[in-house]
Structure 1
Amino acid sequence: MRKQPIGFFDSGVGGTSIWKEVINLLPNESSIYLADSRNAPYGEKSADEIRALSVKNTEKLLELDCKLIVVACNTATTNAIDYLRSNFKVPFIGIEPAIKPAALSSKSKSIGILATKGTLSSALFARTSSLYASELNVIEIIGKGLVERIENGLINTPETRELLQSYLDPMIAEKIDYLVLGCSHYPYLIPLLKEMLPVDVQIIDSGRAVAVQTKKILELNSLINTSAEQGSHRFYTNASVDTLANLISDVDFTKEVEFLDF
């Protein structure tokens, strides 16, 4: 089982930001990535719909012989990972907004969270926020429309800048010193965010922490690939192959990007 691939799924291409962190840390691991772009964004769907899509993606990755599954989507994690862990035997790694490090590090005691509606309204997010940020001023903003623009390759455009600025303005007004990105698509906006935010605002995403946790769980389950060979990587999307291929073009690994009707 050690040589079997790690599976990843997301409501589209955004989870490639998580994939990059994992593969950079574990270059000998192979992987399979499912971009469910046809159903993006998950953040506007009901909890039952999100769970059903997460089950569908999990079943496809298990058909493809994955040894561990990374739910590279905040919305799917916060709404479905407990169900997945209860109903499938494979280990799961989830991703949720990194509220804890922001809350512990904030000096202004004011932090911003940019996430989807599905994540911000979930029980898991509420528990985490209550545990670590109850004494802070937390400005929660739903990034409506951002996932769709990233899915369509419309990142550095005037319209995206205008939309993003409308979400940042209330946070800037509250003098946040940390911005937590609560969607795996949003790291692709970091170059824009750095231009638009005050220089003293730190941006936090969960990618590195997910990679470290993935390595830990592989080791605990004796699943880590001990081969010295670099892993191979397959990417499947049920929408635009070009958008997915473009977002991973900067990664120097052997990879295949294909359309798959799932």
Structure 2
Amino acid sequence: MNSPIGILDSGLGGLSVFNEVQKLMPNESVIYFGDSAWCPYGAREADEIQRRVFKVTDFLLEQGCQLIIIACNSATIAAVEALRAAYPVPFVGMEPGVKPAAAMTQTGTVGVLATEASLAGEKFHRLVTDHSNGVNVITRPCPNFVELVERGELSGTKALGIVEEETLPLLEAGADVLVLGCTHYPFLRPLIEQVAGPDVQILDTGEAVARHVARLMKETVTETSDVLHRIITTGDLDQLKSLFPVLCPEIPLEQVSFSHSHL
């Protein structure tokens, strides 16, 4: 097997990035680690997230990963700079697409849907300061979005009601671009588009991250037969297996357990 790309997330949301990487780099093996037992990261303290992410990183490096994508905005904010300082492999983080959204808006107002940890972090505030270009950036923490995806509730009246509750205040404030600031949220994109209507643009960064990874790896198209994808979780296997036909092509699901003593 060629040395894999590692992808880590607090749960299942990073599968949206996994899918983009698969599409763009079909000849690269990928190991996905979803820490569903600790999901959501976005409600935890930054130092706790960082300790956990270091532990997951150690595991992925033991599997031979040549590059690691932090497919979680909260984990990126809490840990990516420390990871880059501590390990020799490249790390690619996630950040809300404030800069492209600011260039797209016609009303001068951009809405950002994200987790509490992402919105509270200094990294996000620097991002807005440096790249909003005078555009009004309004934010909305949406912890219920993560819970919907982790349960596989991607449609239906209840899910639609939650999406309306979180999205409508941004639309009422004049936002004509909505930034999906968490990798779980693209799985709710059809509902968000339904609520927002055709005149509102929806922006997520999964595809852009995959392109950046391809550039870092200087991806070339080659014929290979030893591509192997693995999906590893700390969550409940029986629950997660029922979700995978919805979230991701079927790949054998593995389980690992990290005790509190490992933190």
TM (norm. structure 2) is: 0.92
SS in 2 for 1:13: coil
Query: Residue 198 of structure 1: CA displacement?
Result: 2.4
Instruction: Measure how far apart 1:251 and its partner are.
Output: 8.7
Structure 1 pair 196–26 and aligned structure 2 pair: CA distance change class (3 A): same
Q: Identity percentage over the alignment? A: 38
1:216 CA displacement:
0.9
Judged with a 3 Å threshold, the aligned counterparts in structure 2 of structure 1 residues 245 and 218 are, in CA distance, closer, same or farther, namely: farther
Shift of 1:226: 4.5
Say if 2:102 and 2:108, in contact at 8 Å, map to a contact too.
yes
Write out aligned runs for 1:1-262 (5 A). 3-133=2-132, 135-219=134-218, 226-229=222-225, 231-242=227-238, 244-245=240-241, 248-249=244-245, 255-262=251-258
Deviates more, 1:34-43 or 1:247-256: 247-256
What is the Cα deviation at residue 257 of structure 1? 1.1
Aligned structure 1 segments of 4 or more residues deviating by more than 4 angstroms: 223-227, 242-248, 250-254
Task: Give a deviation string over 1:46-97, Cα, whole Å, max 9, x none.
Answer: 1101111110110110111111101111110112100000001111111110
Q: Could you tell me how far apart the structure 2 residues matched to 1:162 and 1:175 are?
A: 20
Gaps of 5+ in 2: 259-263
Conserved in 1, the CA contact under 8 Å of 2:34 and 2:232?
A: yes
After superposition, the Cα gap between the structure-2 partners of 1:45 and 1:225, relative to the gap in structure 1 and judged at 3 Å, is farther
1:241 CA displacement: 3.0
Give the total of aligned pairs: 258
Distance 1:182 1:243 in 2: 25
Contact kept in structure 2, 1:12 and 1:37, CA below 8 Å: yes
**Residue range with higher mean Cα deviation, 169-178 or 149-158:** 149-158
2:249 and 2:183 map into 1 onto residues whose CA distance is 21
Q: 1:159 Cα deviation (Å)?
A: 2.3
- C-alpha contact (below 8 Å) 1:29/1:225 kept by paired residues: no
Q: Using the alignment, how far apart are the partners of 1:158 and 1:194 within structure 2?
A: 15
1:236 deviation in Å? 0.7
Counterpart of 2:3, as a letter, is: Q
Whether the 8 Å contact between 2:68 and 2:91 is mirrored in structure 1 is: yes
1:244–1:91: structure 2 CA closer, same or farther, 3 Å change rule? farther
TM-score, reference length from structure 1: 0.92
- Post-superposition Cα deviations, 1:139-185, rounded to whole Å, max 9, x if no partner, equal 10000222112111122132222222111121111121100000000
Give the direction of change, closer, same or farther, for the CA distance of 1:57–1:224 in structure 2 (3 Å limit). Answer: farther
Which ranges in structure 1 are unaligned for 5 or more consecutive residues? Answer: none
Give, in whole Å, the separation in 1 of the partners of 2:187 and 2:12.
10
2:138 partner SS: strand
Q: Distance in 2 between matches of 1:168 and 1:204?
A: 14
8 Å contact from structure 1 (residues 21, 207) kept in 2: yes
Change in Cα spacing, 1:19 to 1:245, as seen in structure 2 (3 Å) is farther
Once the two structures are TM-superposed, the CA of residue 135 in structure 1 deviates from its matched residue by 1.0
Q: Which amino acid in 2 is paired with 1:184?
A: T
**Aligned-pair CA distance for 1:224:** 6.7
2:168 and 2:195 in contact (8 A); partners too:
no
Report the RMSD for the aligned CA atoms in angstroms: 2.0
